[in-house]
Structure 1
Amino acid sequence: MRLTWNLKTILIGVAVLAASFFISLKAMDLLAPRATNSAPPVAQLPPLPPASKSSIVIAPVAIALSAIREQAERAAPRNFAGKADNPISQILENADIGWSAVRGPMAAAGDKDVLTISTPLTGKLNVTGSLSSKATGALGDALGSVLGGDAAKRIGAVNIKNLNASAEIKGNVVVTSRPKLAAAWYLEPNLGAQVNLGDTNLNVAGAKVNVPAQVKPLIDKTVGEQINAVSERIRNDPSLRENAKAQWIKACRSIPLQGSSASAALPPLWLEMKPVRAIAAQPRVDAQAVTLLLGLEAETRVTSTPTKPDCPFPDKISIVPPTGTGVSIGVPIDVPFTEINKLIAAQMVGRTYPEDGSGPVDVTVKSANVIPSGDQLLISLLVRAKEKKSWFGLGAEANVHIWGRPVLDQAQQTLRLTDIQLALESEAAFGLLGAAARAVVPQMQQALLQRATLDLKPIAANAREKIAAAIADYQKSEDGLKVEARIDSLTLADIAFDSKTLRVVAEAGGSLNVFVTKLSGM
């Protein structure tokens, strides 16, 4: 009985001693001190400038020469007529010197920035009147001044009391234009005209007399009056300014990028477009069209709520050298480092290294924090190392500091870390954790290299879709007008950060083309 009691006592004592030992080990494990290594010094960064980006939209407006020809055909009169003063009133009485002409179909051509419109011209010059019988002696000189220098010789001494003579008019009219755009929102056509007449003859009493010199000044005057009227009408046409103003107002707005619906999973983002300058290049003329480059520059920024930008329409348009066309919209996207910390934590916290459990020490990441410094990021990891060789399982905690440089992966549309290396200040931590824990650090570095990536695809996809929808608003297909607008790509262009915010700049690229095949009014 005494032996049994002594055995029980011994067993209970051993159990109490073992429990006390393991409780002591656990307490030592829990109360083990952390390494007191200090964090590396970080460089304070100035705040990022306001999140705005310059964007450009330049559209070639191609007006087909066929449209210009058809409009000129409709607008230009077909019949011309006029009368001349009587230069020989002392000889020719009751004179009526008139001409009439009809133009033919017009033709349009373009080359070296010059637009040419030509049309054939046919008509008749008619002279009627009466000659005094006493004017025979002066007839030669007078008719010579009107009908040509050799008229007197060919007519001779003829006493004509009633004169009715006519001559054919044959030739063409060529109108040229060297259009220039003025800064005050109007087009200066710079029109010029040339009248060319063939060798026509006047029949007087059976004799043929050359008279184009008498007709051309009259036709020149009539064509000149028409050219001046058309030039003034084009110069005062407000349609260029009115159409540009309508598109300017349309561009001044906020475009929802993501999270605008109540059920959206992504945070709300809006792209504010604020036009600030109207730009254009001088018209180019070739064999197919007159092409005018028109566009605008805008400031774009991403906001968390919709805005109402103030976009006053400019009084002047900036004339620039010919440049490339298309749509280039900059989209600055700001991501706070609190979100970056969540990303790193999701990728690292709770993981144990080596991941296959093959090492003598297990190192578990308990927390992660990211601090910007210069052009690098400092990732501070609170880790717990626990040895596995003995069954005591002793462990300790320490802060491990790792440097990394953020870079954009444009192909994968991600932000990742590169140039990852252990900070020198972390070496002190391994005096407590032990050399075995030091051997695990390369695996943690590799894990950061592989897992610490910010996937920008959802943001990029939403931005491209919404910007494409906004640009598509400009598409038209009407009678005589076609507008093609599309966004072809959205690329990640650059990054920047300060102590609180990471900024990713994306660029949406596309095209905008305007084709005019019919003109209404001029």
Structure 2
Amino acid sequence: MAPVAIALSAIREAADKSAARNFTGKADNPVSQILQNADIGWTASRGPIAASGDKDVLTLSTPLTGKLNVTGSLSSKATGALGEALGSVLGNNAAKQIGAVNIKNLNASAEIKGNVVITSRPKLAANWHLEPNLGAQVNLGDTNLSVAGAKVNVPAQVKPLIDKTVSDQLNVVAERIRNDPSLRENAKAQWIKACRSMPLQGAGSSAALPPLWLEMKPIRAIAAQPRVDAQAVTLLLGIEAETRVTTTQTKPECPFPEKISIVPPTGAGVNIGVPIDVPFTEINKLIAAQMVGHTYPEDGSGPVDVTVKNVNVTPSGDRLLISLLVRAKEKKSWFGLGAEATVHIWGRPMLDQAQQTLRLADIQLAVESEAAFGLLGAAARAVVPQLQQALVQKATLDLKPIAANARDKIAAAIADYQKTEDGLRVEANIDSLTLSDIAFDSKTLRIIAEAGGSLNVYVTKLSGM
């Protein structure tokens, strides 16, 4: 999951650059029976746009100044209707202030002062589009229009005109945002980039590993709804991908999803599960290298020397059966009598996350070994605890080289996403790799490692808006 943070300063700058600064309009004559040859026009200019955010609401505001101008003529024949009409349009006291007049050339003007506040509650739709949910409010202060020497209040006459202008522009902007394919196109580009097979071979201690490749196959796009605070609008985007280790490089097919899954807000970051497969033939070699040829007790203090001649590991259920072919030689007899038999010991593979090792735990003698002690002699049974302890101490697989190499290779792959360009910065890092789980079948022991890190996108400039 990558948080894409669009700075409010970038939104403010884009809005200030793209929004018109000057507006003009004409109004219909609301009192044609009184005001003849009327021309009612207005002009307005906006100031700088300010942006703020709180509780998932983005707010843009700008001051508004302008002028309303009315020209025409009044007829003395309309004296009665004049007071009523002007009272309804210009204020209840208009008729009293103006009185019965006969004006052939009327030219009146008024100052427009106020502000426009636009709010957005952005929501992400499943079809890769953003719904801005725009709203606007026009606030005008009390201003006066001088008609025949009398001053009357006019915001009620101007506000509906400005409201309609703002509403028309917002509808255009909302439709453009709603139909903008940028989100889908950018996501598709990163989806294709994530669909890949990367090498896990390394240098040093990991160079001897067999050729392995980590296949990443995106299967689902996920996102949380945008969050708005005082600094930025943040959209949490991510993918879920299947991973597997292969012995050859693959070319996975990853069709881009038509829908994005909307999920509750969750922690951001990169988490990649890496399955590391170790064949049991390698496990046999590991334990054999540690135990074959060794004699127990190692200090030679027992009545019997038990020498390990062969080791074989067989998975069974959730445990491993370690079969040790041993030769026991009696030390008290002058003849040095000895015999060979197979001793079976159960063990459970366990991960030591702190030490990054695989070891055996819950070691215990198998019932099948009782027959072996009839051949070896009762004295050989006393050596069994030392064999068990040797398995605990020596049958350990050091996973540090494998883990370190996997972390480095995944970090290199994630680093491909890093980018710094005008108005955009992408930071990508893998800083940890932990061993989380194990599983096995009849042939392979699988260790699940989890690479963790961060992926952050910072947008400080918006273009093309």
How do 1:203-242 residues align onto structure 2 when only pairs under 5 Å count? 203-242=146-185
Tell me if structure 1 keeps the 8 A contact 2:76–2:101. no
Matched letter for residue 500 of structure 1: K
Residue aligning to 2:30: 87
Structure 2 unaligned spans of 5+: none
Residue aligning to 1:268: 211
User: For 2:70, which of 103, 119, 127 is the aligned residue?
Assistant: 127
SS of residue paired to 1:305: coil
Q: Distance in 2 between matches of 1:363 and 1:203?
A: 117
Q: Distance in 1 between matches of 2:279 and 2:221?
A: 34
Deviates more, 1:450-459 or 1:427-436: 427-436
Tell me if structure 2 keeps the 8 A contact 1:259–1:268. no
Matched letter for residue 266 of structure 1: L
Tell me if structure 2 keeps the 8 A contact 1:105–1:120. yes
Matched letter for residue 324 of structure 1: G
1:158 aligns with 2:95: no
SS of residue paired to 1:396: strand
User: For 2:338, which of 395, 409, 416 is the aligned residue?
Assistant: 395
User: For 2:52, which of 97, 109, 116 is the aligned residue?
Assistant: 109
Q: Distance in 2 between matches of 1:87 and 1:387?
A: 122
Give CA deviations for 1:138-160 in whole Å, capped at 9, x if unaligned: 43334334433322211112221
Alpha carbons of structure 1 residues 274 and 260: separation in structure 2 relative to 1, 3 Å:
farther
Shift of 1:284: 1.0
Matched letter for residue 504 of structure 1: I
How do 1:168-247 residues align onto structure 2 when only pairs under 5 Å count? 168-247=111-190
Residue aligning to 1:383: 326
Tell me if structure 2 keeps the 8 A contact 1:260–1:269. no
Shift of 1:135: 4.4
Residue aligning to 2:397: 454
Matched letter for residue 354 of structure 1: P
Alpha carbons of structure 1 residues 395 and 207: separation in structure 2 relative to 1, 3 Å:
same
Matched letter for residue 315 of structure 2: P
SS of residue paired to 1:399: strand
Deviates more, 1:429-438 or 1:314-323: 429-438
How do 1:326-341 residues align onto structure 2 when only pairs under 5 Å count? 326-341=269-284
Tell me if structure 2 keeps the 8 A contact 1:59–1:326. yes
Matched letter for residue 222 of structure 1: T
How do 1:13-28 residues align onto structure 2 when only pairs under 5 Å count? none
SS of residue paired to 2:405: helix
Tell me if structure 1 keeps the 8 A contact 2:75–2:101. no
Residue aligning to 1:465: 408
How do 1:298-313 residues align onto structure 2 when only pairs under 5 Å count? 298-313=241-256
User: For 1:257, which of 200, 205, 212 is the aligned residue?
Assistant: 200
1:419 aligns with 2:362: yes
Tell me if structure 2 keeps the 8 A contact 1:98–1:125. yes
How do 1:345-494 residues align onto structure 2 when only pairs under 5 Å count? 345-494=288-437
1:65 aligns with 2:65: no
Q: TM-score, normalised by structure 1?
A: 0.86
Matched letter for residue 397 of structure 1: E
Give CA deviations for 1:360-409 in whole Å, capped at 9, x if unaligned: 32221111101111211111111112223344333211111111111111
Residue aligning to 1:96: 39
Kindly tell me the number of residue pairs found equivalent between the two proteins.
Answer: 464
SS of residue paired to 1:440: helix
What fraction of aligned residue pairs are identical, expressed as a percent?
Answer: 88
Shift of 1:438: 2.2
Shift of 1:356: 2.0
Tell me if structure 2 keeps the 8 A contact 1:259–1:269. no
Q: Distance in 2 between matches of 1:489 and 1:321?
A: 25
Matched letter for residue 425 of structure 2: K
SS of residue paired to 1:316: coil
Matched letter for residue 72 of structure 2: G
SS of residue paired to 2:200: strand
Shift of 1:204: 1.3
Higher relative contact order (CA 8 A, sep 6+): 1
SS of residue paired to 2:227: strand
User: For 1:322, which of 265, 268, 275 is the aligned residue?
Assistant: 265
Q: Distance in 2 between matches of 1:158 and 1:388?
A: 139
Tell me if structure 2 keeps the 8 A contact 1:333–1:503. yes
Give CA deviations for 1:423-477 in whole Å, capped at 9, x if unaligned: 2222222222223322222211111110001111111111111111111111122
Q: Distance in 1 between matches of 2:32 and 2:389?
A: 110
Q: Distance in 2 between matches of 1:134 and 1:446?
A: 119
Give CA deviations for 1:212-270 in whole Å, capped at 9, x if unaligned: 11101111111111111110111111100001000100000011112699x93111111
Shift of 1:136: 4.7
Matched letter for residue 149 of structure 1: N
Q: Distance in 2 between matches of 1:376 and 1:133?
A: 109
SS of residue paired to 1:439: helix
Give CA deviations for 1:3-37 in whole Å, capped at 9, x if unaligned: xxxxxxxxxxxxxxxxxxxxxxxxxxxxxxxxxxx
Give CA deviations for 1:278-300 in whole Å, capped at 9, x if unaligned: 11111111111111111111111
Matched letter for residue 353 of structure 1: Y
Matched letter for residue 228 of structure 1: N
Deviates more, 1:290-299 or 1:149-158: 149-158
Alpha carbons of structure 1 residues 260 and 278: separation in structure 2 relative to 1, 3 Å:
farther
Q: Distance in 2 between matches of 1:216 and 1:431?
A: 106
How do 1:275-294 residues align onto structure 2 when only pairs under 5 Å count? 275-294=218-237
Structure 1 unaligned spans of 5+: 1-57
Shift of 1:94: 2.6
Q: TM-score, normalised by structure 2?
A: 0.96
Shift of 1:357: 2.3
Alignment root-mean-square deviation, CA? 1.7
Residue aligning to 1:147: 90
Tell me if structure 2 keeps the 8 A contact 1:258–1:459. no
Shift of 1:132: 4.2
Tell me if structure 2 keeps the 8 A contact 1:260–1:268. no
Tell me if structure 2 keeps the 8 A contact 1:279–1:297. yes
SS of residue paired to 2:327: strand
Tell me if structure 2 keeps the 8 A contact 1:65–1:288. yes
Tell me if structure 2 keeps the 8 A contact 1:144–1:150. yes
Q: Distance in 2 between matches of 1:399 and 1:138?
A: 120
SS of residue paired to 1:397: strand
Q: Distance in 2 between matches of 1:90 and 1:401?
A: 112
Deviates more, 1:427-436 or 1:316-325: 427-436
Q: Distance in 1 between matches of 2:28 and 2:289?
A: 99
